[in-house]
Amino acid sequence: MRIGIFEPATGDNGAGGKQEMLGMQYANKETPTVDIGGTTYTVELVYADNGSDPAKAPTAAAELVSKDVSVVLGSYGSTVSLAGGPVFGEAGVPAIGVGCTNPQITAGNGYYFRICFLDPFQGTVLANFAQEKFSAKKAYCLGELGNEYDQGLINYFEQAFDGTVEKDSFPTNTSDFTTYLNKAVNEDADVIFCPVSITYSTQIVKLAASLGIEIPILGGDTLDSNMVLEAAAGSDVQLYVSTFYQEGGSPEFDEGFKAWLSEDSTAMTNNGGNDTIAAVTA
């Protein structure tokens, strides 16, 4: 039995994709076979890298379909899930999203399912948190231009936020966010909401630390990463994220996964170099 792994191993979401894949690989190690109708099947994971790129996603999806997979898991990144979804639908291959939260992924596609919460829920929770925790009246929102995940989540945050919202979108491959963070400060924002990829969020958090920015930074599930947390370590940056799982939620899982990581140097590297458990892995 073949399970297709539709994930980014490269590109802006490569780090998150690798952590999401670790959960699948650990599950495969724990459950290498499955019994169906009295027959025992060996489970084989088949990979296709969608490159964090919606232009590459349909090709990666078609590659999995051509390899006769029974079901597909993925993808980290709503944009690539949206782009690859029609391929799975047309082929009649069921796909299960693990951490792709944009509601449009499953809307109108009878073959795409998901196990995570949705952005309308996540955005509302974060907006309510900003108001209840910080009495926020003004929010500065920052996302990547054209990114379905970023822009969708910002939209739901704005709808739920009872106050003023200032928004900016940065071009893909931006490496200097000084202008954006200074704008948040100059406009007296009470919170900064930047639901962006791990690649961008680590840069933003490090820069906020170096600039001494005291405005709380809020992020969606993509910011729940040990790499982002390390970027904030040792600084006064206030970082708050929404998440699917917090380490300690299942001690048995935590112990087993950490033991597996310690035995596999490649898996440890793909987890960002330490054994902190990412929510997308769980």
Check whether 74 has a pLDDT greater than 90. Answer: yes
Average pLDDT over residues 20-32: 98
Distance of alpha carbon 175 from its chain centroid, rounded?
20
Average pLDDT over residues 46-71: 98
Distance CA 14, CA 50 (A): 9
Average pLDDT over residues 166-178: 96
Q: What pLDDT sits at residue 225?
A: 87
pLDDT tens for residues 90-105?
999 999 999 999 999 9
Name the segment(s) of the chain with CATH classification 3.40.50.2300: 2-116+247-270, 119-241
Q: According to DSSP H, which parts of the chain are helical?
A: 14-30, 57-66, 78-91, 119-134, 148-160, 178-186, 198-211, 226-232, 251-263, 265-270
Distance CA 117, CA 87 (A): 23
Average pLDDT over residues 137-165: 96
Q: What pLDDT sits at residue 226?
A: 86
Band of residue 227 on the pLDDT scale cut at 50, 70, 90: confident
pLDDT tens for residues 125-140?
999 999 999 999 999 9
Cβ neighbours around 175 below 10 Å, total: 8
In single-letter form, the type of residue at position 149 comes to Y
Average pLDDT over residues 133-153: 96
Average pLDDT over residues 26-41: 97
The CATH number, out of the four listed (3.60.20.40, 3.50.30.60, 3.40.50.2300, 1.20.870.10), of the domain defined by the range 2-116+247-270? 3.40.50.2300
- What architecture does CATH give domain 119-241? 3-Layer(aba) Sandwich (3.40)
